Amino acid sequence: MKSVAQLLRVKGTAIYWIRPDASVYECLALLAEKNAGSLLVMEGNRLVGIFTERDYARKVVLHGRSSKDLKVREIMSAEVLWVGPESTNEECMALMTEKRIRHLPVMESGKVIGLISIGDLVKDIIAEQRFVIDQLEHYIMGR
């Protein structure tokens, strides 16, 4: 299994973020612009939360609230699970499955260095399995 550091080398380390005092509407616009499912909520270099489409659906839409009147800090998830670059893809997949989350910030020395999604992990696992299958097919065929 690959480490998160190896995955980030391939995926890249772009991080999309927003301030906690931004409106939820601004946050939604940025999510749409970046075609992302979550944004990290940052105060300077400090991670203070994460905002996901799920936060919006469950804390705004279902309660009939207005995204233009709410601040991100009011509905973000303040308790953010994260992993280090040495974590394996398998460990991340287990954590995401157990906690029912789709995005994990990657932290090193207290600083955010990347963000991985369940989709990133699935894509990498499928590629790894495809490689193993190809190798086994070559072995069986005697190539």
Q: Where are the domains of the chain?
A: 4-141
Q: What is the pLDDT of residue 47?
A: 97
Q: Residue 79 gets which letter from DSSP? A: S
Whether the model pTM is above 0.75: yes
Q: State the maximum Cα–Cα separation within the chain, in Å, rounded to a whole number.
A: 66
Please compute the mean of the pLDDT values over residues 95-103 and round it to a whole number: 96
80 closest CA partner among 101, 108, 60:
101
Burial class (CB in 10 A: 0-12, 13-18, 19+), 104: buried
41-45, 97-101, 125-129: segment of lowest average pLDDT: 125-129
Please give the Cα distance from 92 to 83 (Å, whole number): 7
Superfamily of domain 4-141 in the CATH hierarchy? CBS-domain (3.10.580.10)
Q: What angle do CA 113, 117, 121 make, to 5 degrees?
A: 105
Please compute the mean of the pLDDT values over residues 87-100 and round it to a whole number: 95
